Amino acid sequence: MNRQEAIKLIKEKLVEAIRVTGNRGYQLSQSRCPVITGALKASGKNDDIDNGTQIQYTKEYSSFVERGVPPGIRHVKTYRRKTGAIVKAHQFFSRGQKAQHYIESSLKDSFSQDFARNFDNRIRSSGVKVTRI
């Protein structure tokens, strides 16, 4: 195996390790996801992409739960309800919402604990001998 083939194989194994570790991070995030109605947890999905994996929670409020919302005055524009009633623009004070970090903490834990082992296992199983300098 020449150098370029070895580099290509290492890159492939690296992406595999990222995907496996990312999948583990997704499973952790599902177990840590706050549940009131179950809609947020049900909106979660994990897809493999070109160079790794992508974790998404698609409910419109998922980023507010993950990152939190600072307290403060909220402004609401005029809108029409489904019943046809018009609600005039108004403002109110919100206490905010504490960040849950269910995705961030899951990925940190997964990558800090599993990534090196996953990558090492994939390299060893491929037959490539890696020497550390």
Per-residue pLDDT tens digits for 50-93: 889 999 999 999 999 999 999 999 999 999 999 999 999 999 99
CA-to-CA separations, 128 to 30, 52, 132, in angstroms, rounded: 35, 21, 13
User: pTM surpassing 0.85?
Assistant: no
Cα–Cα distances in Å, from 127 out to 8, 60, 72?
Answer: 13, 46, 58
Distance between CA 30 and CA 33 in Å, rounded?
A: 5
Dist CA 96 CA 70 (whole Å): 5
Q: What is the pLDDT of residue 6?
A: 82
